[in-house]
């Protein structure tokens, strides 16, 4: 049995089946990200990783569905992993379908993922990164409580040039001080 996490707008849950997961990945692969550039995940890789309504490959990556509460529509996914060494750190990422962006779904999904990770894993830190030019993503990470801890210049190649990548972190102690975690609904 899996626990789902619900906020005011979205629910974080396992994908129902491979078809539901594949439709989200197909849209992501078919819509080049204006900040990161094209992204490609092979359908065979996804189907090989899908097991028991969750994406749980051997490398520790886990991908959960982000579902709107008002319509039941799948608006994207939240991803964690792989866990890095030492295993006290988790990496997270979010994809929200372009038609569903700028409504707060991604920020809430990320907060729900923070709750899931800190409540169920012995981690002390959650990390996320984005390209330095992606101001909306950077602001969203900060609004979720993450702090910018630095950047690496010229590490991501896109549109014929190299760009900096900015790193954000949320410590367990910071998350424990946040109010939103008390309003999350958990069901299993």
CATH of the domain at 60: 3.40.630.30
Tell me how many domains the chain contains.
1
Per-residue pLDDT, 5: 94
In a domain, 8, yes or no: yes
Q: Does 128 map to a domain?
A: yes
Domain with 11, as residue range(s), is 4-183
Angle between helices 105-120 and 135-143 (to 10 degrees): 50
In a domain, 188, yes or no: no
Please tell me the predicted confidence (pLDDT) of residue 35: 55
> Does the residue 31 lie in any domain?
yes
Looking at the domain assignment, is residue 88 inside a domain? yes
pLDDT tens-digit series, residues 88-119: 888 898 888 888 989 999 999 999 999 999 99
pLDDT given for residue 25 in this prediction: 78
The answer to whether residue 15 sits within a structural domain is yes
> What confidence score (pLDDT) does residue 44 get?
45
Per-residue pLDDT of the chain (188 residues; tens, 9 = 90+): 467 999 999 999 998 888 888 888 777 766 666 555 545 454 445 555 555 444 444 456 688 999 999 999 999 999 887 665 566 888 898 888 888 989 999 999 999 999 999 998 888 999 998 888 888 889 999 999 999 999 888 776 667 778 888 999 999 999 999 988 889 999 87
């Amino acid at each position: 049995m899996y626990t789902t996490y619900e906020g005011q707008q979205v629910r974080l849950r396992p994908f129902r089946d491979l078809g539901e997961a594949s439709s989200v990945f197909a849209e992501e692969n078919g819509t080049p990200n204006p900040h990161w550039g094209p992204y490609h995940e092979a359908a065979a890789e996804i189907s090989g990783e899908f097991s028991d309504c969750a994406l749980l490959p051997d490398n520790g990556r886990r991908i959960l569905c982000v579902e709107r509460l008002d319509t039941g529509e799948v608006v994207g996914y939240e991803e964690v992993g792989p866990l890095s060494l030492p295993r006290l750190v988790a990496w997270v990422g979010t994809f929200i379908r372009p038609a569903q962006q700028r409504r707060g779904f991604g920020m809430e999904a990320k907060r729900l993922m923070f709750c899931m990770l800190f409540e169920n894993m012995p981690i002390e830190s959650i990390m996320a990164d984005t390209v330095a030019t992606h101001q909306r993503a950077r602001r969203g990470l900060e609004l979720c409580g993450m702090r910018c801890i630095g950047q690496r210049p010229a590490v991501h190649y896109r549109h014929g040039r190299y760009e900096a990548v900015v790193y954000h972190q949320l410590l367990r102690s910071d998350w424990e001080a946040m109010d939103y975690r008390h309003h999350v609904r958990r069901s299993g």
